[in-house]
Amino acid sequence: MIELFNTVLFEPIFNLLMVVYHYLPPHDLGISIIVVTLVLKLLLYLPSLSSIRSQQAMQEIQPKLDALRKKYEKNKEELSRQLVSFYKENKISPFSSCLPLLIQFPILLALFRVFIAVSGTDADTGILPAEQLEHLYGTFKETYASTPIDTTLLGFVDLAQTKNYIMAGLAAGLQFWQSRMMMKRNKKTATKNIAQSMSQQMIYLMPVMTFIFGVTFPAGLTLYWATSTLFQVAQQYMFIRLQKKDKETSTGDREQTVN
């Protein structure tokens, strides 16, 4: 299983990062991480968009679900039947928002390993260790057996070092922005229940976890996290704009029909 994971995900992404680093001037690892992150996020754009749409659909029907749960709270079997029927009638799967995330998880795990690998150069020589060189393709294996890797962003942020509080704070701030953005979007349809309370707590918990994550691991991982979160903010903003435009178009069509 580990060998399959390395062959299908880890090694292709690792080599993609090295290709970008090798051929894209000025051979900046930080810029290379940003480019690779954006490429992969674009490839995962449709699954991510599907997840956002599913989450929004679940939020819109939440009041009706709460009403069903309250009505049949003393009859669990009937509640199960009513829920199945409700999901079927509305053509919504309660797991539809989770599936895209499950698809993306192995890729995120591979990215984690890639950035750990490329950050693990020898402190004195800047050369990748032998166990990481084995995962490179073709001439890259020979080239980087003797060529040091500059593990910096723009020449001054060392992405191989941990405890970069500025990068960790940036990633945490972006995470808070994204969480607040989703909460404001869902505020109109949310109901006062345990799920909403947990969502409100996650607004603050996720940035704290992101900050701890950013301080603990190499700054290269934090740069990836910040870039990925910023992309997701832009994606959510586009989704909200498109949805608003669709509603305005639908309203205009209904008004024309009435007139």
How many distinct structural domains can be found in the chain?
A: 1
Kindly write down the DSSP assignment for every residue of the chain, as one continuous string: -HHHHIIIIIHHHHHHHHHHHHHSTT--HHHHHHHHHHHHHHHTHHHHHHHHHHHHHHHHHHHHHHHHHHHTTT-HHHHHHHHHHHHHHTT--TTTTTHHHHHHHHHHHHHHHHHHHHH---TTT-PPPHHHHTTS-HHHHHHTTTS----EETTTEETT-S--HHHHHHHHHHHHHHHHHHHHHHTTT--SSHHHHHHHHHHHHHHHHHHHHHHHS-HHHHHHHHHHHHHHHHHHHHHHHHHHHHHHHHHHHHHHHH-
Q: Is residue 248 part of a domain?
A: yes
**For the residues 199-208, what does the mean pLDDT come to?**
73
Residue 72's domain comprises: 2-253
Q: Considering the domain boundaries, does residue 107 fall inside one? A: yes
173-193 pLDDT, tens digit per residue, is 988 887 777 665 555 444 444
- Report the predicted TM-score, pTM, of the whole model to 2 decimal places: 0.72
Task: Give domain status of residue 259, yes or no.
Answer: no
Q: Which range has the worst mean pLDDT, 13-22, 62-71, 208-217?
A: 62-71
Per-residue pLDDT at 191: 47
With respect to residue 192, please indicate whether it lies within any of the assigned structural domains: yes
Residue 258 resides in a domain: no
In-domain check, residue 47? yes
Is residue 78 domain-resident?
Answer: yes
Residue 9 within a domain: yes
Q: Binning pLDDT at 50, 70 and 90, where does residue 41 land?
A: confident
pLDDT of residue 16: 92
Mean pLDDT of 86-107: 68
